[in-house]
Amino acid sequence: MTGKTSVPENPIVMTIAGSDSGGGAGIAADLKTFAAFGVHGTCAITSVTAQNTTGVLETFDLAAGAVGSQIEAVCSDMDVKWVKTGMLASSEIVSEVAARVKKHKLSPVIDPVMAAEAGGDLLRKEALTVLIEELLPLCRVITPNASEAGALAGIPVKTPDDAKLAARKIADLGAEAVVVTGGHLDATDLLYEAGSGAFTRVSGTFVKGGTHGSGCTYSAAMTACLALGDDLGTAAWKAKKFVEQAILRSRPAGRGVNPVNPLGQALEEKERYLVLKDMKEAVSILAESPDFSKLIPEVGCNIGMAVPGAGSYEDVAAVEGRIVRHRGRPVPVGCVDFGASRHVARIVLAALRCDPGTRAAVNVKYSKKTLSACREMELGISSFDRAGEPENVSTMDWGTAEAIRAYGSIPDVVYDEGGVGKEPMVRLLGARATQVAKLAVELAKRVE
The residue out of 262, 282, 298 marking a domain boundary is: 262
Asked whether the predicted pLDDT for residue 2 surpasses 50, the reply is no
Is residue 126 very low, low, confident or very high in pLDDT (cuts 50, 70, 90)?
A: confident
pLDDT at 231: 96
State the residue range of the domain holding 115. Answer: 12-262
Per-residue CA distances from 40 to 29, 36, 407 (Å):
14, 10, 51
Residue 1 lies in a domain: no
* Residue 212 within a domain: yes
- pLDDT tens across 265-280, in order? 999 999 999 999 999 9
Q: What is the CATH number of the domain that holds 111?
A: 3.40.1190.20
Spatial separation of the C-alpha atoms in residues 241 and 231, rounded to whole Å: 16
CA 50-29-101 angle, 5° bins: 95
Q: Are residues 295 and 430 in the same domain?
A: yes
pTM above 0.75, yes or no: yes
| Domain presence at residue 5 | no
pLDDT at 89: 87
Closest CA to 108 of 32, 4, 222: 222
| Residues 209 and 130 grouped into a single domain | yes
Sign of the torsion formed by the C-alpha atoms of 143, 145, 148 and 152 = positive
pLDDT mean across residues, the chain: 93
Residues 256 and 294 in one domain: no
Q: Are residues 283 and 220 in the same domain?
A: no
Domain finish residue from 222, 240, 262: 262
pLDDT above 90 for 185? no
376 shares its domain with 402: yes
On whether both 153 and 282 belong to a single domain, the answer is no
Residues 251 and 317 in one domain: no
11-25: pLDDT as tens digits:
999 999 999 999 999
Please give the helix or strand (H or E) that residue 340 lies within, else none. none
151: alpha, beta or left, given left = phi > 0 and alpha = psi -120 to 50? Answer: alpha
254 lies in the same domain as 302: no
Pure H helices in 62-133? 64-75, 91-104, 125-130
Taking each continuous run of H as one helix and of E as one strand, the counts in the chain are 13, 18
- Select from 215, 234, 262 the last residue of a domain: 262
Q: Do 218 and 324 lie in a common domain? A: no
